[in-house]
């Protein structure tokens, strides 16, 4: 039994949610700003990260958490910028596979390298928030079958 365990009491759910919200908000704003500096919307940049591995349009919608009809426009614009491309699937001719291009890969790496504020956001968490995240991880692990 270490000191951390004794110091991390049953953290209230609100405190835990605050910690996650604080980190998430900082991360999202940072991500959107970094994408914008490289001429992409956050949705486009997020999609670019998903298609690092070739993904069907439908599955991409699932990963982005939006309806399939939206993916058409998002991939249209990425394709127009030369950052991704559609390819026909061999097994099912209804399916189109989205793949990142070399140029897209370069842009994605630049965006990720640009993200630094999220680091500082996590560093600047209050001790209660930090304890909340720690407790969350400890509670989730056994529930996830670990």
Rounded Cα–Cα distance for residues 45 and 74 (Å): 10
Q: Rule CB under 8 A: say whether 23 interacts with its own copies.
A: yes
Minimum gap (Å) between residue 27 Cβ and its own copies: 4
Q: Where are the beta strands (DSSP E) in 9-140?
A: 55-56, 84-88, 96-100
- Residues 62-101, interacting with DNA (CB under 7 A): 64-77, 86, 89, 92-97
Strands (E), 1-146: 55-56, 84-88, 96-100
Over the window 21 to 60, marking each residue x when it contacts DNA by CB under 7 A and - when it does not, the resulting string is: --------------------x-xx-----------xxxx-
Q: In the block, which residue shows the tokens 């001429």?
A: 39
* Residues 107 to 126 in contact with its own copies, rule: CB under 8 A: 112, 115-116, 118-119, 122-123
């Amino acid at each position: 039994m270490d000191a951390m365990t004794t110091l991390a009491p049953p953290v209230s759910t609100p405190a835990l949610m605050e910690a996650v919200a604080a980190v998430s908000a900082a991360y999202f704003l940072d991500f959107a700003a970094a994408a914008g500096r490289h001429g992409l919307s956050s949705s486009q940049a997020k999609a670019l990260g998903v298609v690092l591995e070739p993904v069907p349009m439908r599955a991409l919608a699932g990963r982005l958490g939006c309806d399939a009809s939206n993916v058409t426009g998002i991939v249209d614009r990425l394709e127009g910028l030369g950052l991704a491309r559609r390819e026909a699937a061999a097994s099912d001719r209804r399916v189109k596979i989205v793949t990142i291009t070399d140029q897209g890969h370069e842009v994605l790496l630049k965006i990720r390298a640009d993200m630094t504020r999220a680091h500082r956001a996590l560093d600047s968490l209050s001790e209660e928030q930090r304890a909340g995240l720690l407790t969350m991880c400890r509670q989730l692990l056994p529930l996830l079958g670990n």
